[in-house]
A and B are shown apart, each in its own frame.
Chain A
């Protein structure tokens, strides 16, 4: 393994190397129960660089950063900052050492103004004018333009992230950590973020650690990269001297096909352009001018229309929170329409009636599989049934024999790793839970298959599996609606791409005609 040899090499081999690393974590080990989250991890970050931390879900990136920010105490290991040993026992200590982190999920109060959010947590008297000035000042220094008097709930996701950044930067931290910062941003917003980070490192001489599982990002934005897999560091590279394939191989531990590299690890360059064209089948799912509101009166869908043909994959692209969840709920009979129609195979469906969509032939692999996709406290066999109780029942009663037979058949067919059909769903890994959901939905022989964020939180193997299954479902003549915030996933699979913005489809194009700039602007709502 490289770590030991790397360790003996002086830290100054990096691009903009200085003798003393800004932060150095050495031999960090952390165990959660029987899981080794960090296994003798060494990470050294030079001052003034953007250091990428690359790895799949569960590779140990987050745990390592939680250790650095004092949220988790390591079992072994030392942390050095600028050459001297420090102990980071709690988040306050981390803040004292000048370590700041922007988490993947924002911690902002929507009802409060920007300057109020920035001063939140401050002690003593609140000086409104000074706080406003501070927001402006920090904003100008780093190019983070935001109105201090705007309410956070009225801001776009990109603007909210600017507020988060200002919250961190105003304390003038020496080390800034960003956890998957682009997962909620459009392409343009991501680029803007990276230029801000570049300015922070070159002009203000700050150090940045960028956590990501997207190769493109790492390649474009970082100076050096440390790759983790299974809790250990497997490689360290200067970004300039590496490429997508090498990074993907190190991150996954094997060679990936171009096909899955694109959707699994976000290597946009590897995408094959304009290969997929679907036969013109009949329209199986048609939504016409659908309006829907949440229970609290918030509009969720505002005149959404779309249609999906047999054998076709329609990708719904968009920034998270623009009605994707509502669209999924609508097609799961969890949400009723206020106006507009939902037609499956040409006949209208009463969307809000429990189970109506399922009966009409709409299978759903939901965004939140723990929410509506499965029942965690029931067994795998039972979860493979749920709605299709009729198939395993004789008269009023469920036949345990039929239940097990069906489970065994599906477990085999869909290659689900599970000790026994009676294992509680809760004990399965995310990938296997997703397989159970997919197996059940496909076993019902749906006309339409809705897959929402099908690969979120899964490891590369499971992502490959899902991608292939979705592709095959379309080949079999199912109309597939793919809802995803991962553009790469949509571009890999979809025959057509529709962009959703503020609860409506604002644009549509064939896969072959996709222009990333235009797509990004549509997602941001700039053009329709």
Chain B
């Protein structure tokens, strides 16, 4: 009895539990979106606008016509790159939440290279992306060093580094001896850099007003594919997952947390920096104080909703990209910007909630089983 009992009883409840969660997951999404839409409708109506019009505008801005779809994809690109970095880090059990800062520092480095390094356009463009990646990695490297050398909490240090990054960029774009744009006669100088030269920019496929998109999207997809494969099949991925799921067992098995975990933190910073570089060379072309525009934060949310699965991050990033593109268009139809923010934020919450809820349930379950 003693030897045969375990297989007979223990695995039995597992498929049941899994089945139940599989059934409730879509339902949970439906309910949370319904609640979010209901709240959004109430708000928009109270503010004297029509929810129908707002939804239509969201649709038109993100999916109607080639240009809108291209816009959605352009918004998706940096979100996906940030999310992949966040996923690598989270899989190692480390929570980097400073992507917003790493992204803007990366973009600033890219802008400096793109504007001041001489050479053929394609090479400078490449160097700008490389520089952006390295700068993002360095920005994440500081919290990494602080953590493994002095035990400073990564969540706090990466977040505080965002504010430092914002100030650094703001300083740079306000100094004409640094990155601020060159004066044209009679023009008041804005806190922003010059536009990147044409040759340095990432090429675009297709023509406006038809379907067109930046080639950065393919960079993002390639990174996603490579990371998904490495996490699943490489020795590095195996050790990284082991570290994330049980650092004690990993240490016993010879994994150095400082090397592997610190490396993951650098990689995620590098990804955020690259995302900044791709935004810069792919669509914005200049650095400003408000350059990051929450892309870092939303990329982090993409990783959360995708539950740290790189391939799932692709559709999730597309959804968030749609919201960003549609939200921009909605604002241009006269709905106040703050309402647009509230509506998109509600939809983001609806998308995040089921994942967060499942995470909470998962944490509670082991305790319940042992009792």
Task: Mark A residues whose CB is within 8 Å of B.
Answer: 33-35, 230, 252-254, 332-334, 354-359, 364, 366, 371-378, 382, 385-387, 389, 393, 396-398, 400, 417-419, 423, 426-429, 431-432, 459-462, 465
Contact = CB atoms under 8 A, between A and B. Distances in A.
B255 A396 contact: no
A432 B6 contact: yes
Interface stretch (B185-193, B204-212, B238-246): B238-246
Interface in B318-356: none
A330 to B, nearest CB: 11
A430 to B, nearest CB: 9
25 contacts: A33-B13, A35-B9, A35-B13, A354-B252, A354-B254, A354-B255, A355-B254, A371-B249, A372-B248, A372-B251, A375-B250, A376-B246, A378-B242, A378-B245, A396-B236, A398-B233, A419-B7, A427-B10, A427-B14, A429-B5, A429-B6, A431-B2, A432-B6, A459-B5, A461-B3
A332 B252 contact: yes
Contacts of B23: none
A358 B253 contact: yes
Given A459-B2, A462-B2, A400 B254 contact: no
B1 interface: yes
B241 A396 contact: no
B248 A34 contact: no
Chain B CB count within 10 A is highest, among A354, A357, A374, A465, for A354
Contacts of A373: 249
Contact of B249 (A34, A359, A372): A372
Contacts of B294: none
Nearest to B17: A33
A462 to B, nearest CB: 7
Nearest to A435: B6
B256 to A, nearest CB: 5
Given A252-B2, A375-B245, A431-B2, 9 more contacts: A33-B13, A34-B16, A354-B255, A357-B252, A372-B249, A375-B242, A387-B253, A461-B2, A461-B3
Nearest to B258: A354
B182 interface: no
Contact of B6 (A230, A393, A417): A417
Interface of B: 1-7, 9-14, 16, 233-239, 241-242, 245-246, 248-257, 366
B170 to A, nearest CB: 40
B252 A387 contact: yes
Given A253-B1, A355-B255, A358-B254, A386 B10 contact: no
A427 B246 CA distance: 16
B1 to A, nearest CB: 6
Contacts of B2: 252, 431, 459-462
A400 B238 CA distance: 12
B249 A374 contact: yes
Most buried by A among B1, B6, B248: B6
A428 B245 CA distance: 17
Nearest to B248: A372
A254 B4 CA distance: 14
B253 A386 contact: yes
Contacts of B245: 375-378
Given A429-B10, A461-B3, A354 B251 contact: yes
Contacts of B257: 354
A375 B6 CA distance: 19
A10 to B, nearest CB: 33
B246 A397 contact: no
B102 to A, nearest CB: 27
A280 B25 CA distance: 62
Contact of B254 (A359, A385, A393): A359
A433 B131 CA distance: 48
Contacts of B12: 34
B307 to A, nearest CB: 13
A253 B255 CA distance: 44
Contacts of A432: 6
B235 A389 contact: yes
Contacts of A419: 7, 11
B338 to A, nearest CB: 42
Contacts of B241: 378
Contacts of A462: 2-3
A496 to B, nearest CB: 26
Q: Which 9 A-B pairs have the closest CB atoms?
A: A355-B254, A461-B2, A429-B6, A387-B253, A417-B7, A375-B246, A372-B248, A386-B253, A461-B3
Contacts of A332: 252
Contacts of A459: 2, 5
Contacts of B237: 398
A33 B9 CA distance: 11
B347 to A, nearest CB: 31
A375 B315 CA distance: 30
Nearest to B8: A417
Contacts of B239: 389
B116 to A, nearest CB: 38
B252 A427 contact: no
B19 to A, nearest CB: 13
Given A389-B238, A396-B235, A423-B11, A355 B252 contact: yes
B176 to A, nearest CB: 49
Contacts of A354: 250-257
B244 to A, nearest CB: 9
Contact of B235 (A34, A230, A397): A397
B188 to A, nearest CB: 55
A337 to B, nearest CB: 16
